[in-house]
Amino acid sequence: MDDPSPFEAARGHQVTLALQAARGGDPAALNEAFHLVYDEVRAIARARVARAGGGGTMDTTAVVHEAYLKLARHGGLSFADRQHFLAVASTAMRQVLLDHARRRLSARRGGGAEHLSLTAADPAADEQAREVVALDEALGRLATLDPQLSRLVELRYFGGLTIEETAQALGTSEATIKRAWRRARAWLQRELDPDAREEP
């Protein structure tokens, strides 16, 4: 991976300083850190929204803002650096999309008083919502079997971190991350694809 540009290095340093201030109790520092990485968080959210079904789900801005509110409500969170902050923000966005998917499926089953309009009754969006919930359930099973592998998926798939950034976040080598990433993807594919499980 190329070295960061002087601008990126300077911004990374600003993020680190803001996160240090947040750990020190400065209530405005988390907002400053979020502002500094906003474009990156939006890019991660855009990818998450696309994977969760695009137009039939929440839009990118709503996901980013709800994720920020989740982070702000947990003022006791402590972030080591930019990568850690992005990973936690991405996990918050995953939770926002998961909550949205569960609400959508509950409404389709007639739960609660909410009724979907004809425009909201999108079978493709319903299928994407089911996939979001299925992936979350599979990750829960993976976490009980191998918490480190589950964390790797969080960082790579949901956090958008590179192999190098994931290795730094987990304190291991890039070669180890590459091998584990292949193993994690194969495991998830078997869990999410019943046909793959039946193959010899």
Distance, CA of 141 to CA of 143 (rounded, Å): 5
Determine contact, residues 177/166, Cβ cutoff 8 Å: yes
The Cα-based distances of 143 to 55, 98, 111, 119 in angstroms read 30, 17, 29, 37
- pLDDT class of 48 with cuts at 50, 70, 90: confident
- Which of the pair, 93 or 27, is modelled with greater confidence? 93
Q: Give me the pLDDT at residue 52, please.
A: 67
Determine contact, residues 25/188, Cβ cutoff 8 Å: no
Is position 153 within any domain? Answer: yes
Examine the pLDDT at 121 and tell me if it is beyond 60: no
Examine the pLDDT at 189 and tell me if it is beyond 80: yes
Task: Pick from 67-76, 116-125, 189-198 the range whose average pLDDT is largest.
Answer: 67-76
Which letter does DSSP use for residue 27 in this model? T
Q: Which two tokens stand for residue 94?
A: 């995953």
The Cα-based distances of 125 to 55, 58, 103, 116, 178 in angstroms read 8, 11, 12, 12, 32
Examine the pLDDT at 50 and tell me if it is beyond 80: no
Is position 31 within any domain? Answer: yes
Q: Write out the residue range of the structural domain in which residue 64 sits.
A: 6-198
Examine the pLDDT at 47 and tell me if it is beyond 50: yes
What is the pLDDT averaged over residues 145-150?
Answer: 91
Is position 1 within any domain? Answer: no
Is position 65 within any domain? Answer: yes
Look at the pTM and tell me if it is higher than 0.75: no
Determine contact, residues 97/57, Cβ cutoff 8 Å: yes
Q: Give me the pLDDT at residue 113, please.
A: 47
Distance, CA of 163 to CA of 152 (rounded, Å): 10
* Closest CA relative to residue 102, chosen from 65, 122, 129, 123: 129
- Which of the pair, 78 or 3, is modelled with greater confidence? 78
What is the pLDDT averaged over residues 132-161?
Answer: 86
Distance, CA of 151 to CA of 170 (rounded, Å): 9
Is position 108 within any domain? Answer: yes
Examine the pLDDT at 125 and tell me if it is beyond 70: no
Examine the pLDDT at 139 and tell me if it is beyond 70: yes
Number of domains, the chain: 1
Residue with tokens 């999309």: 97
Examine the pLDDT at 176 and tell me if it is beyond 80: yes
Instruction: Give the count of alpha carbons within 13 A of 54, CB side only.
Output: 4
Q: Give me the pLDDT at residue 1, please.
A: 47
- What average pLDDT does the chain have? 79
- Which of the pair, 141 or 128, is modelled with greater confidence? 141
**pLDDT tens digit string along 57-107?**
578 888 899 988 888 887 656 787 887 888 888 888 888 888 888 888 887
- Which of the pair, 174 or 44, is modelled with greater confidence? 174
Is position 183 within any domain? Answer: yes
